[in-house]
Amino acid sequence: MKITFIAHSGVFIEFEKCCILIDYYRGEVPSIPEGKKLFVMASHGHGDHFNPAVMKKFGGDREYILSEDIKSRIGVKDRESLKITFVRAGEEYTFSDGNGGELILRTLFSTDEGVAFLIKCEGKTVYHAGDLNLWIWEDNEAQYDRWMRETYSAEIGKLKGEKIDLAFLPLDGRMGKRGFCGIEEFVKINRVEKICPIHLFTGFDFIDKFLNDSASIGCREKILRVDREDYKFEI
């Protein structure tokens, strides 16, 4: 599969038979090859994960998979004329890829808003966290901190047993080194081959900081050193 890290948490995945755009809100979307269906997914409605303009942006065969919290933001006209599935956490959905195959989607509960996505398509398994992360802010109250840690571990623990080829995981420098914890915990619990950091508000330098300073064993070689927007790679 061909992947483009577009910007922030926005990514584009091109499979043999279909394409998926996830959490797009700005930047250059690669062109969609003739005959391939486009899935447009949004994990929740925050402005850095969903831009209502995507509802108008693409022609051809496209299908929207949107977290339920976005429902109220979609006008009646779009709801009636477009192919939209509103998804909730803890469910499994099957979609046609438009070319005789299937896309299977599992959703997890997010510790912030909406859902996270586990996508199975053409023998590959891809995870996109959305805002499901260990949000350990400096001023968190102890009780909230405990809830955060327990909920995060329990949610990502539901993926145990999956062999994840690629995971898009938040690496948010606004939390300082506490921002490492979400990825470190994910790798401790799950089998994942490659990690593409997302949610990089403070820039790409934070990936280097992670690579230099994380004490986690087994994380480093999995991390893709994304250094710009519109970053392309293949898996």
Site residues, Zn ion (CB under 5 A): 48, 131
C-beta closer to Zn ion: residue 162 or 229: 229
Q: Which is nearer to Zn ion, 63 or 131 (CB)?
A: 131
- Give CA separation, 158 vs 21, 23, 44, 106, 113, in Å: 24, 22, 20, 10, 18
Beta carbon nearer to Zn ion, 110 or 190: 110
Residue from 218, 198, 216 nearest 27 by CA: 198
Give the C-alpha separation, 150 to 194, whole Å: 24
Between 103 and 148, name the residue whose CB sits nearer to Zn ion: 148
Residue 154, amino acid: A
Residues 6+ apart with CB under 8 A from 8: 23, 25, 26, 48, 198, 199, 200, 201
Least separation in angstroms between residue 47's CB and Zn ion is 9
- The least distance separating Zn ion from the CB of residue 21, rounded to whole angstroms, comes to 16
> What minimum distance in Å lies between the beta carbon of 113 and Zn ion?
8
Residue facing Zn ion at closest CB distance = 131
* Calpha distance 179→206 (Å, rounded): 9
Q: Per the structure block, which two tokens stand in for 33?
A: 């090859």
* β 18-22/10-14 pair status: antiparallel
Considering the complex, state which of residue 199 and residue 222 has its C-beta at the smaller distance from Zn ion: 199
Closest CA to 64 of 76, 48, 81: 81
Our CB check for Zn ion shows the closer of 63 and 155 to be 155
Residue closer to Zn ion, measured from CB, 48 or 145: 48
Instruction: Quote the least distance from Cβ 17 to Zn ion, whole Å.
Output: 30
- Least distance from C-beta 46 to Zn ion, angstroms? 5
Question: For residues 141-164, b (16+ Cβ closer than 10 Å) or e, as one string?
Answer: eeeeeeebeeebeebbebbeeeeb
Find the shortest distance in angstroms from Cβ 77 to Zn ion. 28
Q: How far apart are CA 41 and CA 125, in angstroms?
A: 16
Q: How far is the CB of 23 from Zn ion (least distance, A)?
A: 8
